[in-house]
């Protein structure tokens, strides 16, 4: 395979954002088509380079092909819609029905979230798994917060070990997700600013105490509503085919939900905190594509190197 062909196929692969099983099939099919076409053009008297150039010209621009492949594969089934919106709905119900006070329900939902996220992660990372994964990060955060409340000596001993490990693990998850598609990283992290917003609203001093529990009870219907709005957003996201619509939907819904949090907490979040949360929300949408660009530059170098190597071997 020549470097030009490798680059052509890689551009399609990168922009079509397919999962691994679909990706393998689609790329094999395109490769077989190009081989047939180049063979025929060579038999008509063109040199190898001319044949490849003509063939790639007739295949169409990589962005156009990838864009159409993305739209052919992006729409999830109704089963995927229910799977993807389920964690948001579960957490929404947990608060809307005030079940969050029962340790049993809370444990069941958290356990279900973690098990589903791990199952999906090891079974091809389908689109629905990323909303579960976002909530599966909660126990990690919760353990971190719990460590703060340990007796002082223990806190100082455990926090410097736990936080770097937790951050490293979170970073690995984000990198792996971004390699699949940066939009899934944004989808996964979407509840984060909302959760931070509610946490700051119920415990303005940053410490969770008995008074905070009363506030959670007071805000519970609104906390539930905000998670359910996210659930509906994700349902629409899974059904949409166009990428730009998906990005717009996540951004608008995220910012609207955040505004609702601030509105319902009726002044408990000050302006500075609100802008801080807006900044976190923008981070959710800007950091994954930047990370992808950074990772991509590394892949490109590797692909070209591999391509040149295999061409040399032939």
User: Given the rule CB under 8 A, which residues bind another protein?
Assistant: 12, 25-26, 28-30, 32-33, 35-37, 58-60, 62, 64-65, 68-69, 71-73, 75
Beta carbon nearer to another protein, 8 or 95: 8
**Would you put residue 212 in left (φ > 0), alpha (ψ -120 to 50) or beta?**
alpha
Q: What is the DSSP annotation of 138-205?
A: HHHHHHHHHHHTS-HHHHHHHHHHHHHHHHHHHHHHHHHHHHH-HHHHHHHHTHHHHHHHHHHHH-TT
Only one residue has tokens 């389920």, namely: 86
Distance CA 181, CA 288 (A): 9
Contact 1, 311 (CB under 8 A): yes
Smallest distance, Å, CB 34 to another protein? Answer: 9
Smallest distance, Å, CB 29 to another protein? Answer: 5
Q: How many residues does the chain have?
A: 314
Q: What is the DSSP annotation of 209-263?
A: -HHHHHHHHHHHHHHHHHHHHHHHHHHHHHH---HHHHHHHHHHHHHHHHHHHHH
Smallest distance, Å, CB 233 to another protein? Answer: 24
Beta carbon nearer to another protein, 58 or 107: 58
Beta carbon nearer to another protein, 69 or 250: 69
Smallest distance, Å, CB 103 to another protein? Answer: 44
Beta carbon nearer to another protein, 6 or 159: 6
Please count the other Cβ atoms lying within 10 Å of the Cβ belonging to residue 299: 14
Beta carbon nearer to another protein, 10 or 228: 10
Q: What are phi and psi of 151, to 5 degrees?
A: -55, 145
Beta carbon nearer to another protein, 88 or 246: 246
**Degrees, nearest 5: CA angle 244-223-182:** 25
Beta carbon nearer to another protein, 25 or 50: 25
Smallest distance, Å, CB 59 to another protein? Answer: 4
| Nearest C-alpha neighbor of 214 from the set 131, 68, 101 | 101
Three-state DSSP at 94 gives helix
Smallest distance, Å, CB 257 to another protein? Answer: 31
Smallest distance, Å, CB 74 to another protein? Answer: 11
Smallest distance, Å, CB 50 to another protein? Answer: 17
Beta carbon nearer to another protein, 24 or 293: 24
Token pair for residue 148?
């703060």
């Amino acid at each position: 395979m020549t470097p030009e062909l490798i680059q052509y196929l890689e551009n399609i692969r990168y922009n079509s954002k397919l999962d691994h099983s679909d990706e393998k099939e689609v790329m094999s099919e395109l490769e077989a088509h190009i081989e047939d076409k180049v063979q025929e053009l060579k038999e008509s008297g063109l040199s190898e380079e001319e044949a490849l150039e003509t063939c790639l010209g007739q295949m169409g621009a990589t962005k156009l092909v990838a864009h159409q492949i993305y739209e052919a594969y992006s729409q999830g089934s109704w089963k995927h819609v229910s799977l993807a919106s389920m964690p948001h709905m579960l957490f929404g119900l947990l608060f809307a029905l005030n079940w969050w006070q029962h340790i049993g329900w809370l444990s069941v939902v958290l356990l279900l979230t973690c098990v589903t996220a791990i199952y999906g992660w090891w079974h091809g990372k389908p689109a629905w798994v990323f909303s579960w994964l976002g909530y599966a990060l909660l126990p990690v955060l919760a353990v971190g917060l719990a460590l703060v409340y340990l007796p002082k000596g223990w806190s100082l001993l455990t926090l410097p070990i736990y936080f770097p490990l937790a951050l490293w693990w979170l970073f690995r998850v984000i990198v792996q997700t971004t390699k699949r598609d940066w939009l899934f990283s944004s989808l996964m992290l979407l509840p984060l600013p909302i959760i931070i917003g509610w946490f700051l609203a119920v415990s303005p001093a940053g410490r969770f105490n008995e008074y905070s529990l009363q506030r959670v009870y007071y805000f519970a219907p609104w906390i539930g509503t905000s998670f359910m709005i996210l659930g509906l957003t994700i349902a629409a996201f899974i059904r949409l085919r166009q990428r730009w619509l998906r990005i717009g939907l996540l951004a608008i819904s995220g910012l609207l939900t955040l505004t609702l949090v601030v509105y319902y907490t009726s002044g408990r979040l000050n302006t500075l905190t609100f802008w801080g949360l807006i900044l976190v929300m923008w981070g959710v949408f800007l950091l994954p594509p930047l990370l992808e660009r950074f990772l991509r530059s590394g892949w490109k170098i590797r692909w070209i190197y591999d391509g040149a190597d295999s061409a040399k071997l032939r």
